[in-house]
Amino acid sequence: MNRNYILLLLFLVVSCTKDLELSYEKSDQTMVVNCLFSENEAWKVTLTRVKSYRDQSDTYIDDASVLIVPENNDTIHLVYFKDGIYGSDEKPISGVQYRLVVRDSKGNTITAKSSIPLEPIISDIKPSTQRTTYFSNANLSDYTVMPLSFRISANDSANFVRFCFFAFNTKWGYTRYMVTKETISELRKLDFPEAYLGELEKLIGVSMSSYVYFTVIREISEKYELPSNGLGIAVSKLKEKKVTTRYEDSFQSGYLFSNSIGFNNVSKDIWNVLGEYSAEKELTLFVTDVPVLNKGSQTNFKEEYWLEVTGMSEDYYKYEKSYIKQVNNLDNPFASVIEVYSNLTNGVGIFAGYNSQMIHYHDY
Amino acid sequence: MRFITILTLFFLSFSTIAQQKRTISGYVTDAQTGERLYAASVYEQNSGIGTISNRFGFFSLTLKEGVANLKISFVGYQPQTKIINLSADTLLMFSLKSDNKLDEVVVKGNRNSKLADNSKLGHVKLSAKELAKLPSLMGEKDVMKSLMILPGVQQGSEGSSGIFVRGGSPDQNLILLDDVPLYNVSHLFGFVSVFTPEAINSIDFYKGGFPARYGGRLSSVVDLRMKDGNKNKRETSINLGLISSQFTTEGPIKKGESSYFFSVRRTLLDLIFKGVAKVAQKNMEEQAIPSYGFYDINGKINFRLNERNHLYLSFYSGKDNLSFEYSDHLKSTEKEETQKTSGALNWGNVMTALKLNSQLNSKLFVNTTLSGSIFNYGNLFNGNTETIVGSDISKNNFSLEYQSQIRSLGLKTDLDVYSKSNLPFQIGLFANVNNYLPGKQKVARNEGTDENSSGEISSLDYGVYLDKKITLGDKLSFTVGLRNAFYSIRNQKTYFAAEPRFSMTFISNENTSYQASFAKMTQPIHLLSNGNVGLPTDIWVPSTKLIRPETSDIFSAGMKKAIPSGIKLSMEAYYKRLNHVISFTEGDGILNVDQNWEQKITVGNGRAWGVETEARYSNSKLESWIGYTLAWNDRKFDDINKGRWFPYQYDRRHKFDLGIIMKLNNDWSASATWTYQSGAPATYSGLDYSGFPNNLNNETTDFFTGKPINSDRIQYYPSINGVRLPAYHRFDIGFTKEWERYGKKKALSISVYNVYSRQNPFMVYAKTKPDGTIGLKQFSLFPVIPSISYRISF
């Protein structure tokens, strides 16, 4: 008898499971408002309703009145575009307090207030390529990292910030990929299933980075029985296009850690460092060494190191922190329920201002 | 100094009073064992004046000079009468003989209706004899589980020995063993408590109307007294059960004067687990050896120094140890790899107490206790891998060590002062030095060692209390008390707590009484729980500069009525207000041990209210009871449920308890209990909405399905604890045969736990059904479990 039988026997003796039918809430009409605004983008508010897990897609609200009321200025009326999105050509201005007023056709009113904080100033950046080991107490794991020191300004009595680390590979980053009609016809000749080709057809004309495209194609390919080396063949049939712009999806996200007081990874997260501070601070972050490993000794391209610094309103900070906690605790059956923060009265979601800057601080 | 002067004058005033009357003082003891009897009645039958022996069997009764017709009685013992001519202060010793009748399981005050007012609201007294009659779980009687059949007391999750009293949490129970507080009192993750029933002499349980001598917790007091040991005869017993076995021995050191008691209980599970696993995996490359063990050692010695002074030294040590060892050996043409992993989780209490009982005069009894205790929780994980490739040997080592600890040293003096009205006055002083280590973690691996610690926090608690009973005529009496305590956290802050206590009793006739009480309680220590299931990994933390002590205000009122047919009825309503209760902020836990643990805590309030009723019937062969509780229990934290009130985790609306104990014949007795609790609240939702995942972790997988979690969606909970789980109910029966042969006492206990195999929810989790919808699945422990145990005493 091996140990599995013993454990199974023990399990059967002392435990049992059964399905439950409880009258928990399976439907809800609570309105969801999603709007993170910055000076770089025009107003865009998405309205949906809370949905059941069973529903495949969101219920969009297309008949609401959406107003943005700036302090000391004229009200902005947002117009409906599609998929629950309401927008305007006007852009928010930093430092101005905005009030959102949403009224749906059922007479429900949702309000929220926020503003774009002043941008934090990062100075005295001192990157290091000296590798060191960072021990994550939350994950009980070691990571090989490189330190990054800098100073951050304080604009207010309470400042909130998020840091993320990205690498941009100059060899792959300037190449875009897309599915074309030729891709489909060539794969058809190679006896690829029609259902598979149907899914690929939906991507025709969509330009993506290699990282994203290969992931998307792989996920689709795994669902079908393809000819031998089907994934490799499908990828080879994508159309390549060289560009000179660094597209957002061409940046590769890396692990980022902090052991400075007030600046931490939330829960078991290893991608974001969130900070709350009241005076100018000098801090050290630790970035993953994966880009260095990618490059190795090759000299025909660069790995650019970028630090994304997001100045957050307090509401955005609370939302982000609770969101990270929720996602990172869903794998823990004993964890208490985590509610994601919302600053909306009579609804859920977020209406909050932020600013964002990408700092190119080092090339490897 | 001023206080001592006042105290001296106070005692002198009693000496003056005493000259006008005569005082009989002394002790009531068990004739067979010499153990002193607590709450025995000493009653002068002509005048109707009586008193009750204190926790050390001492009594003091002041009567007019002349003939006194005394009756001394105690439940389960044959009453004794004595006529004396009282012309001077007299010291008397009474030894009561045990009777063979069925004892009441729960005794409130005394059967003598004229002393019914001594039965306080919310106070229950339980003796070891009564405990032994209840059904058991896998052959184990349990002190804490015996309290769960009382109205107003709930159990937590299935099997757990943590009790929830009138809306309080398990940390709000002051659990004292010989006056020393113990912390985690659970074995086997709560299925058995640390108290060996055979080592316990009596249990005093308070859920309201707290005497002022108790403090430091908000919701209840469980005051256990260890057996002193038989002063007359040596006795040894061996008990064999499925979960544990025990050896107990007691006897006189000097006959009639001094005695010892020693008991050791140990589980056999670790030997069974290890043995079975080793045999099953013999000659296998991959081996996994689990083990779980616990033990309890109780010891006590007592010395009669002289007629008026007695010394007690008690000791307890108990520990749980959960461990596993895993090893695997892989060999291929390229490499050879050996993995060895081991882990251990252990927790336990050690305590010792030295008590000096002194009868200073016929009206003044003093008990001084010097005590020390340590609660320790720790875990250790080791993982070693050795890989051999050709001639290269690489070793990868990892170890994780975690420790949490509380060390306490205490000194207290309790004085019982008796006046001419025979209404005792209690006063006391106390001081405790506590050292808390909420958490210290050390991680070692090839790359180096990292240590994180919450830091050690020291505190000094000290104060004074007094309790005084006042009567207004024959029908109305009051007990007023005050406990003043200082909680001084070293280098941080000192909190002062004034805790008034008040209770009132109105006896409308000899069978009916009405009572009301109020108590303010303060708790300078908090328990931080990691999740929804009570685990030893929950840690105790002290109040600090940022975290204030928790407080509660408890109001209760009720009535008791004895019906001539032998039925006793009681009804009690209560309202409890809790302030400054703490919780981890959502999603935070102790796994990140650091200096900033206080930042992860949210502070809130609680409220609980309800009505408890009980009917109890007993005669010489039968004891039965029925109890019903209707209760509400809410919490409110700024950071949880959008700052709105929500039902507490153990808010259960209804609770029924039915029980019967019968003496079938001279040898056999039977017992049966049925308990019902309406479903506990829980938070589940089949709802979500889209969020801004930004740079969120996309590697998290669902614990149960193993599937990746879609971080684009936010789980939406319309309300916290808005769902009710299925009700908990269970029926247990037990049969005990006790007989004596060749001078050896034997007892055979057969019991069946959860007779109709009810699947009670232990944990509920969401799971995706084959059709893609989300369903809830319930995980249950313990179907029907028969058990047997055997005890022999000689």
Summarize pLDDT for B84-101 with one digit per residue, the tens.
Answer: 888 888 888 888 887 755
Question: Is the ipTM above a cut-off of 0.90?
Answer: no
CATH of the domain at B37: 2.60.40.1120
- B712 is written with which tokens? 């684009």
Is B345 part of any domain?
Answer: yes
Are B780 and A18 an interchain contact pair (Cβ–Cβ within 8 Å)?
yes
| pLDDT exceeds cutoff 80 at B287 | no
Phi and psi torsions of B714, nearest 5° = -105, 130
- Chain B residue numbers with beta carbons less than 8 Å from the beta carbon of A287 are none
- Residue B557: is it exposed, middle or buried by C-beta count within 10 angstroms (0-12/13-18/19+)? middle
Q: Residues B4-47: pLDDT tens digits?
A: 454 444 444 444 444 467 888 888 888 888 888 888 888 888 88
Q: In what order do the strands lie in the sheet with A15-20?
A: A15-20, B774-781, B761-768
Give the distance, in angstroms, between the CA of residue B291 and the centroid of all CA atoms in the same chain: 26
CB < 8 Å to B531, chain A: 332, 334-336
Per-range mean pLDDT, top range of A5-19, B612-626, B705-719: B612-626
Name the residue with higher pLDDT: B578 or B767: B578
If we measure between CA atoms, which residue out of B220, B161, B150 comes closest to residue B628? B150
Q: Is B280 on the interface with A (CB under 8 A)?
A: yes
CA quadruple B715, B720, B722, B725: dihedral sign? positive
Taking CB atoms and an 8 Å cutoff, what residues of chain A touch B726?
Answer: 20
**pLDDT for res B330:** 80
Positive/negative CA dihedral, A125, A131, A132, A134? positive
Whether residue B471 sits in one domain with residue B550: yes
> Are residues B109 and B214 both part of a single domain?
no
R_g over Cα of chain B: 28
**Percent of chain B residues topping a pLDDT of 90:** 25
Contact between residue A255 and residue A270 where contact means Cβ atoms under 8 Å apart: yes
Among candidates B280, B695, B709 on the partner chain, residue whose Cβ is nearest the Cβ of A272: B695
pLDDT per position as a tens digit, B233-265: 898 999 888 778 889 999 999 888 899 999 999
Judge if B276 and B342 occupy the same domain. yes
CA atoms of B209 and B516, how far apart (whole Å) = 8
Domain membership of residue B89 as a residue range: 22-118
Give dist(CA B70, CA B85) in Å, integer: 11
Distance CA B27, CA B46 (A): 21
Mean model confidence pLDDT for chain B: 82
Q: How far apart are CA B389 and CA B643, in angstroms?
A: 60
- Nearest CA to B106 out of B578, B624, B646, B636 is that of B624
Residue B562, pLDDT score: 87
DSSP, residue by residue, B538-596: -EEEE--SSSPPEEEEEEEEEEEEE-TTSEEEEEEEEEEEEEEEEEEPTT--TTS-STT
Q: Cβ–Cβ of A23/B594 closer than 8 Å?
A: no
Cβ neighbors of B325 (< 8 A, separation 6 or more) are B287, B288, B289, B291, B340, B341, B342
CATH fold for domain A31-115: Immunoglobulin-like (2.60.40)
Cβ-defined contact of B587 to A335 (cutoff 8 Å): yes
Q: What chain B residue is nearest to A26 in terms of C-alpha separation? A: B686
For B:380-399, CB contacts with A below 8 A are none
Cβ partners under 8 Å of residue B377, min gap 6 = B184, B346, B347, B403, B404, B405, B536, B537, B539
If DSSP codes are grouped into helix, strand and coil, which group holds residue B383?
strand
Separation between Cα atoms, residue B185 and residue B424, nearest integer Å: 33
B778 touches A18 (CB < 8 A): yes
Cβ separation of A327 and B716 shorter than 8 Å? no
Contact A320 B694 (CB under 8 A): yes
Instruction: Flag whether B697 is in a domain.
Output: no
Neighbours of A45 (CB within 10 A): 23
Residues B513 and B464 in one domain: yes
pLDDT tens-digit profile of B516-574? 999 999 999 988 775 544 455 667 888 888 889 999 999 999 998 888 788 889 999 99
Residue B3 domain-assigned?
A: no
Residue B782's pLDDT band (boundaries 50, 70, 90)? confident
H-only helix segments in B76-123: none
Within 8 A of B532 by CB-CB distance, chain A residues are: 334, 336
Domain boundary among B83, B118, B153: B118
In the predicted structure, residue B617 carries a pLDDT above the cut 70: yes
State whether B739 and B785 are in the same domain: yes
Q: Show Cβ contacts of residue A242 under 8 Å, excluding neighbours closer than 6 positions.
A: A174, A175, A176
Do residue B718 and residue A25 have CB atoms under 8 angstroms apart?
A: yes
Q: What are phi and psi of A32, to 5 degrees?
A: -115, 125
Domain ranges of chain A: 31-115, 122-170+248-341+353-363, 175-242
- Measure CA of the first residue to CA of the last residue in chain B; give whole Å: 54
Radius of gyration from C-alpha coordinates of chain A: 24
DSSP β-bridge partners for residue B531 = none
| Amino acid of residue B430 | F
Band (B363; pLDDT cuts 50, 70, 90): confident
Terminal CA-CA length for chain A: 57
Q: Could you read off the pLDDT of B150-209 as tens digits, one per residue?
A: 888 887 766 565 788 998 888 899 999 999 999 888 887 667 788 888 888 888 899 988
Reading the block at residue B235, the tokens are 């006795």
Q: Please, which residues have CB within 8 angstroms of residue B511's CB and are 6 or more apart in sequence?
A: B113, B116, B561, B562, B563, B564
Structure tokens at B529: 């729980």
- Check: CB of residue B121 under 8 Å from CB of residue B208: yes
CB neighbour burial string for A263-298, b if at least 16 within 10 angstroms, e if fewer: bbbbbbbbbbbbbebeeebebebbbbbbbbebbeee
Is B708 among the domain residues? Answer: no
B437 close to B405: Cβ distance less than 8 angstroms: yes
| Chain B residues in contact with A326 (beta carbon < 8 A) | 587, 714-715
Res B785: pLDDT: 77
- The pLDDT tens digits for B213-232 are 999 999 999 999 999 888 88
| Beta strands at B687-690 and A51-52: parallel, antiparallel or unpaired | antiparallel
Asked if B638 reaches chain A (Cβ–Cβ under 8 Å), the answer is no
Residue B703 counted as domain residue: no
List alpha helices for B223-339, DSSP H. 269-280
Distance CA B381, CA B388 (A): 23
Tally the C-alpha atoms within 13 A of residue B411's C-alpha that lie toward its C-beta. 3
Per-residue pLDDT, A333: 65
C-alpha distances in Å from residue B522, one per residue of B487, B490, B545, B580: 10, 19, 16, 10
Closest CA to A152 of A106, A118, A116, A104: A118
User: For chains A and B, what is the number of CB pairs under 8 angstroms?
Assistant: 213
Check CB contact under 8 Å for B686 and A335: no
Whether the Cβ atoms of residue B261 and residue B211 lie closer than 8 Å to each other: no
Residues B92 and B239 in one domain: no
CA dist., res. B308 & res. B305, Å (int)? 8
Q: Are residues B88 and B171 in the same domain?
A: no
Residue B273 has pLDDT above 80, yes or no: no
B619, with CB counted inside 10 A (0-12, 13-18, 19+), is exposed
Q: Which residues of chain A have pLDDT under 70?
A: 1-27, 293, 333-335
Q: Are residues B315 and B200 in the same domain?
A: yes
Residues B285 and B384 in one domain: yes
| Among B118, B153, B171, residue at a domain's last position | B118
Q: Are residues B99 and B183 in the same domain?
A: no
DSSP for residue A336: P
Q: Where are the alpha helices (DSSP H) in B106-159?
A: 128-131, 143-147
User: Residue B289's closest CA among B343, B326, B340, B341?
Assistant: B326
Inter-helix orientation angle A194-201/A181-189, to 10° = 170
Last residue in a domain, options B88, B118, B148: B118
- Do the beta carbons of residue B673 and residue B135 sit within 8 Å? yes
Beta bridge partners of B154: B164
Give the count of domains, chain B. Answer: 2
B299 shares a domain with B264: yes
- Do residues B604 and B583 make contact, with C-beta atoms less than 8 angstroms apart? yes
Q: Does residue B8 form part of some domain?
A: no
Answer whether residue B636 is part of any domain: yes
Same domain for B284 and B397? yes
Q: Is residue B223 part of a domain?
A: yes
Type of residue numbered A43: W
pLDDT in tens, A234-245: 888 889 889 999
